[in-house]
Each structure stands twice: as structure tokens, then as C-alpha cells.
Chains A and B, each alone.
Chain A
């Protein structure tokens, strides 16, 4: 009986134990499942949060990309605007400079025009000296208008057939008749700034035709200044012969007086004599070289020795022909001779072709002496260029430092032929071997 109870007790205890174990196991299982579900719930929430943040990131990145493009477009526009501003400001600067230069041009034109108009008014009032002064006063302004001195232009008014001499420290230039008188004369201390002096030959001899005097040449012989010039002899209808006459003065600016009763040289059988040029050789002997018009034949250049006073030819001498036109560029005409002695050589400069055209040019010949014989050097040494046309009427002179210069007249490039002006140009001259070289205009 006791054994039975013991067994029942054991079984009951076992059953209780089993129930306890099972209960514990079930509870633990339920707890594990609950925890598992809770974790899954948190995981789902985390996934959702991650998805939302990824969406935000994508949207924000897209907006940033759009903003970047917008910013880049703006910066490109700013750069383009800056470029346009720089370009516009550059153009503005150029326009301002141009405007300033135009203002200067206008001022210069007004100055030049004012002088020329004043000169015209003085002529109308019969005041030729005043006209010359008025026009020379605006020489600088008018030179600037014609392009400045880069091409050698120093006197921008009509000043044909110039002849330049140095007396003391002053240069005097003489030229064909104009409003300034029968023989124009201007002076300069530096070969750059020229001022009208007036009329070197205020009175003509009675046998001469007024307003028909040209191509002067002046030299100092002893204490006397001797002027030779071309002049038309008075004749019926003003159609007298073209001849050469002489006048003298005690100072370079004159007044020169021509007391002759007739011309010094005419060569009527050769069509007349013009374009005289005085030459004093190294021994002090004066010569005169000139041109004969040719009449029915060709023109020619001549030379003849003058007397000691330089006012007449040496008796018993006759003219010697130096040159005739025989080069194609000369166009059948040579004239305006100018003989100089350089380094023991005699160089005869001359102009050739038609003086009214841009074909007019300057050539040179080498001579054995003042009366030749002469041999032409090839081609012209001075002809039209970009800055001037038809150079000629030249004269060669030495400056105070011993430098050689050539003075000549030329047309402005856009105004060739009468009644346009032939202005005065000066350029440096050098002699390379036996060949003279004229400095180019800048």
C-alpha cells in the first residue's frame, strides 16, 4: 500500500514536472515569437525609412544637378557679358581716340582753312605780303593735314621749283611766283619750320611779263646775292619768249633788283631758255646751267661759265650742251638742272617727263666737270611714292652740319596737276659710291 502511494506520488510529481517544463517551453516559445515579430516590425520601419531617405537623396541630387546647370548657365552668361563689356569698352576706347583725333583734325583744318581764307582776303585787298604772312602762319597746320613731315613735306602750299641756300644759320628757300609775289621766299632756322618772308623780287624789269617768273636760283658771290630766274619776255598778247634774267641783292631775303634791259639767255632758235641754276665750283668759279625748251626738237640742258661777279657770261664763251632726253622714263623732256660737287664728283640732277603728271621724276648724271661731258646714271633716283606724286624742280644743298639734302616740289597723292599745289619737300641725300640715294619717305 505504501509502495503504491509512493509510485502515485512519483507519477504525480513527474506529471507536474512535465507540465511545468511544457509550460515553460511554450512560454519561452511564445516570447521568442513575439520578440521576432517585434524585430521584423522594426526592420520594416527601417526599410521604409531607408527608402524614404533614398528618395529624398535622389530628389535632392536631381535638384542639385538642375541648380548646377542653372549656375553654369548663369556663369557662362556672366562670362559672355563680361566679354561683350570688354569688347564694347575696347571699341569705346577706340572710338574715343578716333573722336579725339578727329577733333584735332577739325581744329587743324580750321586753323589751316582760316589762314588760307585770310590770305585770300588779303589778296582781294591787294596786300600780297599780308597774304604770304597769313598763309605761312598756318604752314604747320596745313602740313599736318597733308600728312605731316613723314614724307618730307615741310611747306604745304604752292612752292614750285624750290632752291634752298644756307646763309649764316638761316635757310632760305625761293620758288616760282605765287600769291606771295614774283619770287616766293620763305626762311627756316631748322629746315622744318618755314615762315614766309615775302617777295624776293618785288619789281620786274619793264621787258618782263608779270606773273610769269619761275624757277629761281640764288647764290652768294662775294658780298652779293645773285638771283637768276626764268621769265617770259613781254610780247604781243603775252606770248613772248621764255628767257633767263638776273637780279642782285645785298641780303638773301632781298629785295633783289633786276636792272637789265633784256634777258641774259634766250636761245630763241631752241624754243627759249628756262630753269636756270647757279653752280659755284670748288675753285669759286661760277657757272650757270639751264634748259632749252627745244622748239621743234628735244629739250636740252646747257652749261656756261659766268664772270667773276656771276651776273653775266664770260665773254667769248658759248653754251655747252650737257644732256638730252634719251631714257624711256624721261618721256622726251628733261629740265630743271642742278649741278653740285660732292666728294670731288660733279653730279647733275635733273627733272624729266611731264611736270603736270605723276610720271615726273628726278634723275642724275655724273659729269667730268661743270661743262661736262656727263653720263646719266640708270633710272630716276626720285619718283612718285605713296606720300607724294610727280617730284621735280629739285635743288641739292648742304646743311649746317655738312649733310646733303634735296629740295623738290611734288603733288599731293590725291591732287595731281594744275591748279593743285606743288608743295615743298625736303629729304636727306646720300652718295653711295657715285650713286646718289634719296632717303625714302616714312
Chain B
């Protein structure tokens, strides 16, 4: 190591003392290093800035989507509440209609029983009426036969309707 080298390594190199060519060479290397450092720093800074801008953009997008989604949730909540209210009303109607149907079914069954009783009674009365008509016809026939002195015809007419007369009296009694 020369004296010059030692001086350079010690940082105490006196430029004015180094040859001009060597001093210019050192100055150029410093500028290059400075430029490279600047470029590297600028690139790093640019990368960081770009990355942050991208992150902010994504954040904005996500935030907007979140707002939209929250609005949709609110709308669906409204719809859901409406449908639930509707369902509650329907269930109330179903309960009421079920009770009404049960009551009507009971009423219908009672009406059918009453109708069947009335029809059975009418059928029985119709039978009585038929017997009474038959009985009356025979008795009138006997009366007419007696009016012309035909007693045997009168007896036969009464005999012919005796069953109907007995049936009518029994049913009516």
C-alpha cells in the first residue's frame, strides 16, 4: 500500500493533493453511485406508492361492494319481514278456517241426521196415507154397495181393505 492509497483509505485524502485525473475518476464514481442510489430509491418509492394506490383502489371497491351488499341485506330483510308477517297472518287464517270447517262439518252432520229422520218420518207417513186411502176407498165402495142393497159386495169391499185399515190404525197409533 502506498502512501497515497493509505490516505485514500483513511478518508483524509486531499484532492488537491491527488492527481487531477484520479480525483475526477473518484468524483464520477460517486455520482454514479449517487445516481444508482437515487434510481433505486425512486423505484422503491414508486413501487411503494403504486402498491398503496392499488391497495386503496381495492379497498374502495371492497367498501363499495360492502355498501351495496348491506343495502341488499336491508332489502331482503324488509322482504323477509313482510313474508313473515304474511305467513303469520296466513297461519292465523288457517287456524280460524280449520275451526270453522270443524264447526261446519258438525253442523252438516247434524243437518244430515235431521234430514234422514224427517225423510224416514215422511216415508212412514206416506205409507200411512196410502193405507188410509186404500181403507177409505174400500169403505166408500162398501157404502155405495149398501146404498143399492148389495150387502155381499159391501162385505167383500170391507174385507179387501181390512189389512190396510188395520195397518193405518196401527202405524198411527
Residues in A lying within 8 Å of B, measured CB to CB: 18, 21-22, 25-26, 28-29, 32-33, 35-36, 39-40, 42-43, 46-47, 49-50, 53-54, 56-57, 60-61, 63-64, 67-68, 70-71, 74-75, 77-78, 81-82, 84-85, 88-89, 91-92, 95-96, 98-99, 102-103, 105-106, 109-110, 112-113, 116-117, 119-120, 123, 135, 145, 157-158, 177-180, 210-211, 415, 418-421
Contact = CB atoms under 8 A, between A and B. Distances in A.
A33 B55 contact: yes
Contacts of B157: 419
A22 B143 contact: no
B144 A106 contact: no
A119 B136 CA distance: 12
B4 interface: no
B70 A78 contact: no
B59 A39 contact: yes
Contact of B100 (A78, A102, A105, A420): A78
A105 B129 contact: yes
Given A67-B94, A110-B172, A419-B157, A96 B118 contact: yes
Given A74-B97, A81-B108, A178-B144, A106 B128 contact: yes
B70 to A, nearest CB: 6
B84 A36 contact: no
B139 A113 contact: yes
A144 to B, nearest CB: 12
Given A25-B49, A102-B122, A102-B126, A92 B111 contact: yes
Interface string B38-66: 00010011001101100110110011011
Contacts of A178: 144, 147
Interface residues of B: mostly helix, strand, loop or mixed? helix
A29 B52 contact: yes
B76 A43 contact: no
B18 interface: no
A92 B107 CA distance: 13
B98 interface: yes
Interface in B64-106: 65-66, 69-70, 72-73, 76-77, 79-80, 83-84, 86-87, 90-91, 93-94, 97-98, 100-101, 104-105
Contact of B105 (A50, A81, A210): A81
Interface of B: 37, 41, 44-45, 48-49, 51-52, 55-56, 58-59, 62-63, 65-66, 69-70, 72-73, 76-77, 79-80, 83-84, 86-87, 90-91, 93-94, 97-98, 100-101, 104-105, 107-108, 111-112, 114-115, 118-119, 121-122, 125-126, 128-129, 132-133, 135-137, 139-150, 153, 157, 172
Contact of B101 (A77, A88, A123): A77
Contact of B73 (A49, A70, A106, A110): A49
The 5 closest A-B pairs by CB, nearest first: A32-B55, A25-B48, A95-B118, A74-B97, A109-B132
Interface residues of A: mostly helix, strand, loop or mixed? helix
Contacts of B101: 74, 77-78, 81
B41 A18 contact: yes
Contact of B76 (A35, A50, A145): A50
A421 B147 CA distance: 11
A179 B104 contact: no
B59 A32 contact: yes
A131 to B, nearest CB: 8
Contact of A102 (B87, B129, B143): B129
Contacts of A96: 118
Nearest to B48: A25
B114 to A, nearest CB: 6
Contacts of A57: 76, 79-80, 83
Given A50-B69, A110-B132, A78 B97 contact: yes
Nearest to A88: B111
Contact of B104 (A29, A64, A71, A78): A78
17 contacts: A22-B44, A33-B55, A36-B56, A46-B66, A67-B91, A74-B98, A88-B115, A99-B125, A102-B125, A109-B132, A110-B172, A113-B136, A117-B139, A145-B136, A418-B144, A421-B140, A421-B144
Given A95-B122, A120-B142, 5 more contacts: A46-B66, A88-B111, A105-B129, A113-B139, A419-B145
Contacts of B112: 88
A122 to B, nearest CB: 11
Contacts of B115: 88, 91-92, 95
Contacts of B97: 71, 74-75, 78
Given A39-B66, A47-B69, A419-B141, A98 B122 contact: yes
Given A85-B107, A103-B125, A120-B146, A415 B137 contact: yes
Contacts of A63: 87
A43 B70 CA distance: 9
Contacts of A179: 143, 146-147
A42 B140 CA distance: 108
Nearest to A135: B143
A25 B52 CA distance: 8
A71 B90 contact: yes
A74 B52 contact: no
Given A70-B94, A74-B97, A99-B118, A43 B148 contact: no
